Amino acid sequence: MNEMIKIETTLKDWESDQEVRWCPGCGDYAILKAVQRTLPQIGADPANTVFVSGIGCSSRFPYYIESYGFHTIHGRAPAFATGIKLANPELDVWLVTGDGDGMSIGGNHTMHLLRRNLNCQIMLFNNEIYGLTKGQYSPTSRVGTTSPSTPMGSVDRPLSPCAFALGVNARFVARAFDVSKNLPEVLKAAHAHKGAAFVEIFQNCIVYNKDVFNDFAAPKGAEDQQLWLEDGQPMVFAKGARGIALDLDTLSLKVVDVVDGDWQGAGVLVHNVTNRAIAHMLVEMPFGPFPMALGVLYDDPRPTFEESVLEQNARDAEGKEPDLARLLAKGQTWTVEG
């Protein structure tokens, strides 16, 4: 985000006049509401906000927000956003993408936007399926996912978007899910981060991949499987009864029991959002033996791409007059007399 003038708005101000066309019950509705709830809280200005998306169910998102919106082409939203921010770094840019759009056809652009550290928020709606094309498996689908293109089950192993993001040098990585009450807080943290802020949002596709995240993201009863990370706080879950510790023999994470709230005694780690090595371990934790790591996993800002580019442009242009006539006559010239 930018140092911006805060504007007073309400949730209603962020609702466009467009009819929302997602399937009834789709997780996208909850994310839309969470975003519309977040924007007034951060003082965002609709005139200065741009939502940019690619193609897919998630990418219809910009139409439903009363701000500037650009629904582009499949996988390329990061490239459009890069041009937008370089042309006008004052704009507050949000990217909306999905697991197919952002990790498959657009994986290349996501990678480069993150490594360059373009100052924007990236919301990747991960439903582990291609929804808009009617249910083919995606690069985040689990092995064995049956779909119209994999009737016997998919055989290729999925990727983890957050592990990908860390791997390509993202400076902010967070995770949440559609119906979580914490989603606005995560989005606020993403917005507060200066630089590329990558947020994976597990999203329930109720038509093609219903409830695949229920083990940790069910509206009720899955809380014990959620590890909500907070900077400076111990990594405990299951109402404080369990925690994450570092096994010094194997240099890997382990789940430990916490008795009577004595997390220190159990060796539970304290979350430090700038610890990149632990962040790598958190995103790689296999769900099942471990809980799902949620919240801000990593947050350690670096100079942004556009400020570096524009600073260099300004330095290069300093003291030079934009004299077109002189530019055209550059190099060795000669005069033909009349």
Partner 1 sequence: MASVAEDRPADSMMEGATPEAVVVRFAGDSGDGMQLTGGQFTLSTALAGNDLATFPDFPAEIRAPQGTLFGVSAFQINFGSTAIETAGDAPDVLVAMNPAALKTNLAALKPGGLIIADTGEFNRRNLDKAKYDASPLEDGSLAKWDVLAFDISALTVEAVKPFGLGNKEALRCKNMWTLGLALWMFDRPRDPIYNWLRGKFAKSPELADANIAALDAGHAYGETAELAGPLKKLHIDPVESEPGLYRTITGAEAVSLGLVAGAQLARLPMFFGGYPITPASAILHNLVKMKEFGVTTFQAEDEIAAICSAIGASYAGQLGVTSSSGPGIALKGEAMGLAIMTELPLVIVNSQRGGPSTGLPTKTEQSDLYQAVFGRNGDAPMPVIAARSPADAFECAVEACRIATQYMTPVMLLTDGYIGNAAEPWKVPDPADFAPFPVSFLQEKNHGDQLLPFARDEKGARPWIKPGTPGLMHRIGGIEKNPGTGNIDYSPEAHQTMTEARRDKVLGVANSIPDQEVCLGEASGRMAVVGWGSTFGPIHQAVRRARRRGVDVAHIHIRHIWPLPKNLGELLKGYDHVLVPEMNTGQLKTVLRDQYLVDAKPLNKVSGQPFTIAEIEAAIEGALA
Which residues bind to partner 1, rule: CB under 8 A? 16, 18, 46-48, 50, 52, 62-63, 66-73, 76, 78-84, 86-88, 90-91, 108-109, 111-112, 309-310, 313, 316-317, 320-322, 324-325, 327-338
Output 53 or 225, the one with its CB closest to partner 1. 53
Question: Which CB, 85 or 194, lies closer to partner 1?
Answer: 85
CB closer to partner 1 out of 71 and 280 = 71
CB of 111 to partner 1, least distance (A): 8
Give me the least distance between CB of 4 and partner 1, in Å please: 11
| Smallest separation (angstroms) from partner 1 to the CB of 336 | 5
Give the tokens for residue 308: 């570096």
How far, rounded to the nearest angstrom, does the alpha carbon of residue 245 sit from its chain's CA centroid?
27
Note whether 38 and 6 are within 8 A (CB): no
CB atoms closer than 10 angstroms to residue 8: 8
Q: CB nearer to partner 1: give 21 or 142.
A: 21
- Helical residues (DSSP H) of 13-143, grouped into ranges: 27-41, 77-87, 99-100, 107-116
Could you give phi then psi for residue 15, rounded to 5 degrees?
-95, 120
Closest CB 52 distance from partner 1, rounded Å: 8
Nearer to partner 1, 67 or 126 (CB): 67
Nearest approach, Cβ of residue 107 and partner 1 (Å): 11
Rounded CA-CA distance 28/138 in Å is 18
Closest contact distance (angstroms) between CB of 59 and partner 1 is: 9
DSSP labels, 4-20? -------GGGGB-SSPP
Rounded least distance, CB 316 to partner 1, Å: 4
Whichever of 222 and 310 has its CB closer to partner 1, that residue is 310
DSSP per position, 201-263: EE--BTTTBTTTTHHHH-SSS-GGGEEEE-TTSB-EETTTTEEEEEETTTTEEEEEE-STT-T
CA distance 245 to 263: 9
> Based on CB atoms, which residue is closest to partner 1, 249 or 316?
316
- In 3D space, the residue among 99, 108, 161 whose CA is nearest the CA of residue 131 turns out to be 99
